[in-house]
Chain A
Amino acid sequence: MSESKTEVPYGTLDLLILKTLDTMGPMHGYRIARRIEQVAENLLRLNQGSIYPALIRLEQQGWIGTQWGISETKRKVKFYSLTRAGLKQLSIEVANWERATALVARFLEVEP
């Protein structure tokens, strides 16, 4: 397969899903996966299936809600949407991410 693609950075799939739902509104699983791939412009190697375990966890935490709807192929599917708690969590995770990248960046700036 294409060697240039990177893996989803560890622990960031939750963040990607929350951010996706925040910008795009309620979507079903396949659309979420596609959206992530599109934003990454095919630089990301994502097993689309891996979003489902992440989705159930987010749902159990109460950060996203679900609703049954009909897909483009006329099949019953779950639509996921961000809850208010999820919105708050998103801002926390964004802040965490920015802190972490800033920290790593600072290390990289240090000249030997």
Chain B
Amino acid sequence: MKLRAAIARLQALFRRRKLDRELDDEILAHLELAEHDAVAAGLEPEEAREAARRNFGGIEQMKENHRDRRSVRWLSNLQRDFRYGLGSLGRDPGFAAVAIGLLALGIGANSAMFSIVDAVLLKPLPFSEPERLVRVWESPPGGRNGTTTLTFLDWKRQTDIFEALSVEASTRAAVTTDGDAARVSGKEVSADYFQVFGVKPQIGRTFAAGEDQPGASPVVVLSHRFWRTQFGGDPGVLERDLMLDGVPHRIIGVLPAGAFDRDEAVFWKPLIFAPAQLNRGQHWLNPIGRLRAGVSIEQAQSRMTALRATLNDVIYQKDWGFAVDPFAKQLVGDTLRRSIYLAFGAVLVVLLIACANVANLALAKGATRRKEMAIRAALGAGRARLIAQLVTESLVLCLLGGVTGVALGALMLRAAAPLVAASLPFTADLSMDLRVLGFAAAAVMAVLILTGLLPSLQTSFGKLSDAMNQGARGSSGSGAAVRRTIVIGEVAASLVLICGAALLFKSLAKLQQVDAGVRIDHVITMSADLPMAAYPSPASATTFYEAVVQRLQAVPGVERASVSQGLPLQGVQWGEYLSVPGVRNSLTARVKMVDPWYFGAMQIPIEAGRGIESRDRVGAPPVVVINQELAGALSKTFGIANPVGRTVGLDVPGYGPIPESQVNPQIVGVIRSERTAGLQAPPELVAYVPFAQAPRQDINLVVRTRTEPAAAMPGIREAVREIDPNLPLGDVRTMEEVKEQSMLWARQPTWVVGAFAGVAALLAALGLYGVLAHAVTQRRREIGIRMALGARPGDVLSHILRSAFSMLLVGFAAGLAGAFALTRVLKTLLFEVSALDPSALAVACVLMALVGMLAAWIPASRAARVDPMAVLRDEG
């Protein structure tokens, strides 16, 4: 019954006109009947009408009572204010457009950014019971390392801990459709891989137990996107085979759309361990597991520690333990987390400044409406009622701004998603979902408080006579002080952002200037994977790359071609022990395989001895070339001053599934260090092993061209096709692009913060302009009198500019204090730039001052053009 009444009351809000009309009809009928009765009782018609009226009581009073009774009073007030608010916005479309635009910009940018924050940092992973997902490691003191095949198999048997435990290894394969080979990325995984993630296929099935054992027939699972693009979403795909490196694989299932649609893998096939991989020497596996229900991370950890104790006899690394980490922990690195927080902070500041501007506009409008408010107050409206009216008017603004903002945010997100996707973990699903809308609603509420409630509290509802008099006098009043304070706050907040942006840009510039140790220009790179079927032996791989390099050398425009494993700035895959015979100590060095032309193609100078040469082949004495860093480390660790000619012990990875084995190469040369791990990382210790003595299937081609690198690509493709028509080339990039990608982590937050800082500065300038323009308009008479008394236009101009400058100065003081507070956040994101770098901060101040003075110039010059005669005539 209660509910029914409540619904009826709410309905009454929207059926107001109809209900009023019905009531009027009833009243008329009532009076008519009463009059009729009275006449029947013998009264004169005139008397009868009067009696009917008298007996009825006050009609208007009753109607008001009727409205109150049938509806909810505050709601119907709200409704009226809302209509009134819409009307008053319509009367001042300029103000409405600016305010809604500002709020939409702020809320839109915040919603888009929040979607990223939510997807990367807040939302649970898009898998069932994600808290049960773990990564399992071997743990050297203070670190994490991959594990070996046999140890992994030991772990897999711990079924009381893990419901499923699986590994994944990235792989690539040539997919041939209609005679054209394309290289696609995939993963080799354990059979229970999809159980770990709790992912059910959309059609077909995933791997069955045993399909990752030797002798199982080849099967493959496709990603949803690959199924759509490659097979047109054919539901009969399960009858078909996928040719991977020329080997038919039966398609057994297609995954659902979502988290598994990503560029790094479009197909999954079982990882079958080769007999040679069944060892405890090669730490190449990174297992992901699903804990059994009810097993906590701590319990899993303690059981794994107990297991480790029983394996002490077989594990070589005696001081390594086993470790279990939550899966989510690994996904978001510190740099990304900080960058996202920084960008989110910046966008919040933009919203604050936008709010400040709207509040300022509202205050200026409030000053001009003081008369209206005073009249209303004089007519008996309570202070609360007037505030409610003002707040409702801002509510209209905020809602319009919010709706526009969410639409704008969706557009921003759609534009930004492809740009940032590569920097985010694969689990991040960027979308304007309910959570983002909830955030936007909360933002609208906060904005409402900032732009509606606070300014309306500031508006005085004083005496009518005061308001009338003040209006006539045209003075700026006490509201002006509040508005100046708000502008100072805006200047301070935007200065903080500009300082941050200036520091980040300086850091980016420094990063860009770092000498990569290789010549970046005119180099094009690509990658290829030699399939095991076509290149079963190390010798076959060597033959291939020698033929390719020779053939490429003949392509017009090519200056130098070479083959390596890995590219500069992208990290070196292998890290191995390096020892000196007779010494217990050892070093860990990165091991990179390069052919005899790599140093030449990359223009890496040889500092001592020689580079790698064609004579360093299988059967010839093993050799190694080291970089200066490693030479320095050898001198420090082993006291070897002149390394050339010395023999060292070094583990070198084998071909295909063959594990690494120790060789004893002679150091034949020292080269100047190239940056292997990115521009920001100090050079690593690197040992270069001849490709011919340690061939790989996963190779990079590096080609230095005489002309525009892209122009040489058709010739390069043709040349490779002549050697192997079935081998597709992938990752075609110039070295410049490789460098750009290696700097993405720094570039993206820099540009995002830079863009927000720019917007913030413009908004602050707009605020400054607004306050000064308003002041000039209000003080027109004063300025006119001053000029009539002899002030020159220049004096007026400098007077206004001085007042702007004093606001800017106070803002700068506060802003710089804010920038100091920001130091801690920024520090880790800056490269070789102090978070208090004076030149960057100075540039920021100068920029802000320029923008601010420009904003002040327009109203100031208008003030200087005031014609005293016109002003005095107007107001006389």
Contacts and interface: CB of A to CB of B under 8 A. Distances in A.
A76 B1 CA distance: 29
B40 to A, nearest CB: 10
A71 B37 CA distance: 12
Contacts of A49: 27, 30, 56-59, 62
Interface string A51-78: 0111011011110000000011101111
B70 A60 contact: yes
Q: Which of A30, A53, A57, A71 has the most CB of B within 10 A?
A: A30
B56 A48 contact: yes
A52 B5 contact: no
A50 interface: yes
A73 B26 contact: no
Contacts of B65: 50, 53
A110 to B, nearest CB: 38
A53 B66 contact: yes
Interface residues of B, number: 31
B504 to A, nearest CB: 62
A78 B26 CA distance: 7
Nearest to A59: B8
B147 to A, nearest CB: 72
Contacts of A76: 25, 29
B36 A77 contact: no
Interface in B11-53: 12, 19, 22-23, 25-30, 32-34, 36-37
Given A56-B69, A57-B69, A62-B1, A75 B58 contact: no
B4 interface: yes
Contacts of A78: 22, 26
A25 B37 CA distance: 21
A31 B9 CA distance: 26
Q: Which of B22, B25, B55 has the most CB of A within 10 A?
A: B55
Given A30-B34, A47-B62, A77 B5 contact: no
A15 to B, nearest CB: 16
B57 A48 contact: yes
Contacts of B5: 60-62
Nearest to B57: A47
A25 B597 CA distance: 109
A54 B70 CA distance: 9
Q: Which of B19, B37, B58, B69 has the most CB of A within 10 A?
A: B69
B13 to A, nearest CB: 12
Nearest to A28: B29
Contacts of B69: 53-54, 56-57
Nearest to B28: A75
A56 B30 contact: no
B9 A75 contact: no
Interface in A64-94: 71-73, 75-78, 85
B1 A61 contact: yes
Contacts of A53: 62, 65-66, 68-70
Contacts of B9: 60
A40 to B, nearest CB: 13
A59 B69 CA distance: 11
Q: Which of B4, B5, B29, B66 has the most CB of A within 10 A?
A: B29
Contacts of B28: 75
Contacts of A57: 69-70
Q: Which of A48, A50, A59, A62 has the most CB of B within 10 A?
A: A48
B29 A30 contact: yes
A99 B69 CA distance: 27
Given A53-B65, A60-B70, A71 B58 contact: no
Contacts of A73: 29, 32-33, 36
A31 B29 CA distance: 11
A47 B58 contact: yes
Interface string A23-54: 00000111101100000000000011110111
A77 B1 contact: no
Contact of A52 (B8, B26, B55): B26
Nearest to A85: B1
Contacts of B57: 47-50
A47 B65 CA distance: 13
A28 B27 CA distance: 11
B33 A71 contact: yes
Contacts of A71: 29, 32-33
A54 B66 CA distance: 8
B381 to A, nearest CB: 24
A29 B36 contact: no
Contact of B62 (A34, A52, A85): A52
Contacts of A30: 29-30, 33-34
Contacts of A56: 19, 66, 69-70
A75 B32 contact: yes
Contacts of B32: 71, 73, 75
A53 B58 CA distance: 13
Contacts of B12: 60
A47 B62 CA distance: 10
Contacts of B23: 52
Given A61-B4, A73-B29, A76-B25, A52 B66 contact: yes
A34 B37 CA distance: 10
B753 to A, nearest CB: 57
A48 B55 contact: yes
A29 B23 CA distance: 11
Nearest to A56: B70
B30 A48 contact: yes
B62 A50 contact: yes
A48 B843 CA distance: 80
Q: Which of B5, B25, B33, B58 has the most CB of A within 10 A?
A: B33
B218 to A, nearest CB: 72
Interface string B682-722: 00000000000000000000000000000000000000000
Contacts of B27: 49, 52
A77 B22 CA distance: 9
Contacts of A60: 4-5, 8-9, 12, 70
A48 B70 contact: no
A94 to B, nearest CB: 18
Given A56-B66, A73-B32, A47 B56 contact: yes
A28 B32 CA distance: 13
Interface string B195-238: 00000000000000000000000000000000000000000000
A27 to B, nearest CB: 11
Interface string B51-95: 000011111001001101110000000000000000000000000
Q: Which of B4, B12, B37, B62 has the most CB of A within 10 A?
A: B62
Contacts of A31: 33
A103 to B, nearest CB: 26
B593 to A, nearest CB: 85
Nearest to B11: A60
A56 B18 CA distance: 13
Contacts of B29: 28-30, 71, 73, 75-77
B25 to A, nearest CB: 7
A23 B787 CA distance: 88
B327 to A, nearest CB: 56
Contacts of B19: 56
Give the top 3 A-B pairs by smallest Cβ distance, nearest first.
A47-B57, A60-B8, A49-B62
22 contacts: A28-B26, A28-B33, A29-B30, A30-B30, A33-B30, A47-B55, A47-B56, A47-B57, A47-B62, A48-B30, A48-B55, A49-B30, A50-B65, A52-B26, A53-B70, A57-B69, A59-B8, A60-B5, A61-B4, A75-B32, A77-B26, A77-B29
Given A30-B33, A72-B33, 11 more contacts: A28-B33, A31-B33, A34-B37, A52-B66, A53-B66, A56-B70, A60-B9, A61-B1, A77-B25, A78-B22, A85-B1
Interface of A: 28-31, 33-34, 47-50, 52-54, 56-57, 59-62, 71-73, 75-78, 85
Interface of B: 1, 4-5, 8-9, 12, 19, 22-23, 25-30, 32-34, 36-37, 55-59, 62, 65-66, 68-70
